[in-house]
Chains A and B, each alone.
Chain A
């Protein structure tokens, strides 16, 4: 066989390696060089994503052509490269995926938990990698990004953590839903200790996530300007409902937030944090969880929403299994079909009609190997 000639694939990966190496030198000019090259790679490939995005264009098959699509990358949990480059490989894989989408998504949502321990090195590394995403990126914050400096650096890098915008007739609200009541002052914890505690999913010392009164007030004001017939899509790192309290698969003031969304006809919440296929519907609100690029979480022992079709138990022997990214097709109705682009597996779509019909229509394929 030998390496007599190099295919496009080989060249692509060689350039990817160079890009990766380039990350070690983090000055701004070096970055412009690698970012430019990365975009060049993708354009040069002229390919659909390596994974299965385009093969499944279900919405069109159904005659419910989406009004637009956006993609997401979420829960990348980056360490600094010298400590652990596994998660960097994963986010790069996701960036490749979304850059390879044809047609390109209108924007890419980043779902929070860019960093693992909120360190400057982690957040900056993530910010640089995300700059190589071709489509505009909408940022959302996660608890791993926040609790070292209470969001100071995050704000510097990405701006305010909560904001809203309108896109093609849909009103988007982005929340910072990972606020916690002070558990650290009384315990005299250092910022690092505080961060470490929040970073432990099963660490019971921390408080429960909440959107908080102040932000709810902001949200109320924001939504007051929106017609009740306008579709609303909320981005929230925590699930915005109550699933499993011990792991903060939970938002303490979820009821209050849901009440603010109740007057609207069509509401979709897209959330991170849970690292798994997760679907729910509460009255008028449809909920979709996002995949992580770093690792999958197990399903919690109780509280799993009935409409959730679990993903097959991940194979620990493959570092990418159970991870991935995805795409949201916003339908004419304003509701969302969510495509889970699971690496190493066939993609799974959870349709708005499945949630709207209470599971009676368009059920996604069932799991063969459920969690224990």
Chain B
């Protein structure tokens, strides 16, 4: 028995309301090509009364929902209560957590809007983090006192989520960059993307220029529909490039999306722009 996993945004936290059952049983079989590495699972305790048990994204905290049986769905109100309660439990367990409350909607009074940023030059983008190689490896101080010292200010620490070292950030940056580089490769290689007439993406979009990922979703005039970036990539593959459209989950499509987004780092999101 599976039912659709719903992601809930409450108080700035992403909480899964899939419930114990959905998490404890294996996911629906997926096509071979889409199999990904098994992710660690959060095993939640089973309720004696057959109630729904909801696990939290920290992998530890869970909550039995009285009066709701396994497999039943929650109303929005019930779900909001559950998320608030889980969040409260977690904050009690982690009193020192570096946790920002969700910002209120809109801009605070008196604050000025940042001046509109010019699009940064293309071809020069790097992921957000990525430090230098650090000698000496990770010590007890890394991510704690040391970070505090570097930042020159008194910042919170003491919880594993947030105790990120330069090494962590370097790993993230390299992982991200690897994905983006793969996208760069596919983007510049007509054969890799399945083209039949030696036309590659970069021939019209050097450095992914004029791909404007920040404008999606938007009404794509020529499709007469609202399109996502990947829809337009697929259209281009089929038409100017003369290949077959790729599945949404195709690693090449995903990598190209990564590359295109990476090239527009710093550009303001402006969905629906003409």
A/B contact in complex, CB under 8 angstroms? yes
Which residues of chain B come closer than 8 Å to A296, judged between CB atoms? 204
A298→B210 CA distance, assembly (Å): 6
- Could you say which of A98-106, A130-138, A171-179, A314-322 contacts chain B? A314-322
Interface string of A257-300 (1 = CB under 8 A from B): 00000000000000000000000000000000000000111101
**A79: Cβ under 8 A from any B Cβ:** yes
**A301: Cβ under 8 A from any B Cβ:** yes
B209 touches A319 (CB 8 A): no
**A192: Cβ under 8 A from any B Cβ:** no
Name the residue of chain A whose CB is nearest to the CB of B209. Answer: A298
B202 touches A316 (CB 8 A): no
**B207: Cβ under 8 A from any A Cβ:** yes
Identify which of A201, A313, A317 contacts B206 (C-beta below 8 A): A201
Which residues of chain A come closer than 8 Å to B188, judged between CB atoms? 200, 203
Contacts A84-B197, A246-B122, A316-B222 given; indicate if A301 touches B203 (C-beta within 8 A): no
A70→B47 CA distance, assembly (Å): 86
Q: Which residues 290-349 of A sit at the B interface, judged by CB distance below 8 A? A: 295-298, 300-302, 313, 315-317, 319
- What's the interface size class on A, roughly? 20 to 34
A317→B220 CA distance, assembly (Å): 11
Which residues of chain B come closer than 8 Å to A79, judged between CB atoms? 197-198
Identify which of A86, A204, A246, A313 contacts B121 (C-beta below 8 A): A246
A302→B209 CA distance, assembly (Å): 12
B239 touches A301 (CB 8 A): no
Name the residue of chain B whose CB is nearest to the CB of A275. Answer: B204
Q: Which residues 209-223 of B sit at the A interface, judged by CB distance below 8 A? A: 209-210, 212, 215, 222
A295 touches B204 (CB 8 A): yes
A84 touches B210 (CB 8 A): no
A368→B272 CA distance, assembly (Å): 17
**B30: Cβ under 8 A from any A Cβ:** no
Name the residue of chain A whose CB is nearest to the CB of B273. Answer: A372
- What's the interface size class on B, roughly? 20 to 34
A372 touches B210 (CB 8 A): yes
A202 touches B239 (CB 8 A): no
A297 touches B240 (CB 8 A): no
**A369: Cβ under 8 A from any B Cβ:** yes
Which residues of chain B come closer than 8 Å to A313, judged between CB atoms? 210
B222 touches A301 (CB 8 A): no
Contacts A79-B197, A301-B121 given; indicate if A295 touches B210 (C-beta within 8 A): no
Q: Which residues 118-172 of A sit at the B interface, judged by CB distance below 8 A? A: none
Identify which of A83, A204, A317 contacts B197 (C-beta below 8 A): A83
Contacts A202-B123, A316-B240, A319-B240 given; indicate if A83 touches B198 (C-beta within 8 A): yes
Which residues of chain A come closer than 8 Å to B197, judged between CB atoms? 79, 83-84, 86
**A361: Cβ under 8 A from any B Cβ:** no
Name the residue of chain A whose CB is nearest to the CB of B270. Answer: A372
Interface string of B132-168 (1 = CB under 8 A from A): 0000000000000000000000000000000000000
Contacts A204-B123, A316-B239, A369-B274 given; indicate if A247 touches B206 (C-beta within 8 A): yes
B204 touches A372 (CB 8 A): no
Identify which of A84, A86, A246, A317 contacts B207 (C-beta below 8 A): A246
**A371: Cβ under 8 A from any B Cβ:** yes
> Which residue, of B210, B222, B235, B236, has the highest number of chain A Cβ atoms within 10 A?
B210
B210 touches A371 (CB 8 A): yes
- A244 nearest CB across to chain B (Å): 9
Which residues of chain B come closer than 8 Å to A204, judged between CB atoms? 123
B206 touches A84 (CB 8 A): no
Which residues of chain B come closer than 8 Å to A315, judged between CB atoms? 222
A83→B242 CA distance, assembly (Å): 12
A82→B198 CA distance, assembly (Å): 11
> Which residue, of B197, B206, B215, B236, has the highest number of chain A Cβ atoms within 10 A?
B206
Which residues of chain B come closer than 8 Å to A300, judged between CB atoms? 209
**B119: Cβ under 8 A from any A Cβ:** yes
- B216 nearest CB across to chain A (Å): 12
**B253: Cβ under 8 A from any A Cβ:** no
B206 touches A202 (CB 8 A): yes
- B22 nearest CB across to chain A (Å): 41
- A355 nearest CB across to chain B (Å): 26
A195→B222 CA distance, assembly (Å): 35
Name the residue of chain A whose CB is nearest to the CB of B213. Answer: A372
**B199: Cβ under 8 A from any A Cβ:** yes
Which residues of chain A come closer than 8 Å to B198, judged between CB atoms? 79, 83-84, 116
Contacts A316-B222, A316-B240, A317-B239 given; indicate if A246 touches B209 (C-beta within 8 A): no
**B205: Cβ under 8 A from any A Cβ:** yes
A291→B122 CA distance, assembly (Å): 23
Name the residue of chain B whose CB is nearest to the CB of A300. Answer: B209
A372 touches B212 (CB 8 A): yes
Which residues of chain B come closer than 8 Å to A319, judged between CB atoms? 240
A246→B119 CA distance, assembly (Å): 16
Name the residue of chain B whose CB is nearest to the CB of A371. Answer: B210
**5 A-B pairs closest in CB distance:** A298-B210, A202-B206, A84-B197, A372-B212, A201-B206
24 contacts between A and B (CB under 8 A): A79-B197, A84-B198, A84-B199, A86-B197, A86-B199, A201-B202, A201-B206, A202-B122, A202-B123, A202-B206, A203-B188, A296-B204, A297-B206, A298-B206, A298-B209, A300-B209, A301-B119, A301-B121, A302-B121, A316-B204, A316-B222, A316-B236, A372-B210, A372-B212
**Given A246-B121, A316-B239, 16 further pairs, Cβ under 8 A:** A79-B198, A84-B198, A116-B198, A200-B206, A246-B122, A246-B123, A247-B206, A296-B204, A298-B206, A301-B119, A316-B222, A316-B240, A317-B239, A319-B240, A371-B210, A372-B212
Interface residues, chain B, CB within 8 Å of chain A?
Answer: 119-123, 188, 197-199, 202-207, 209-210, 212, 215, 222, 235-236, 239-240, 273-274
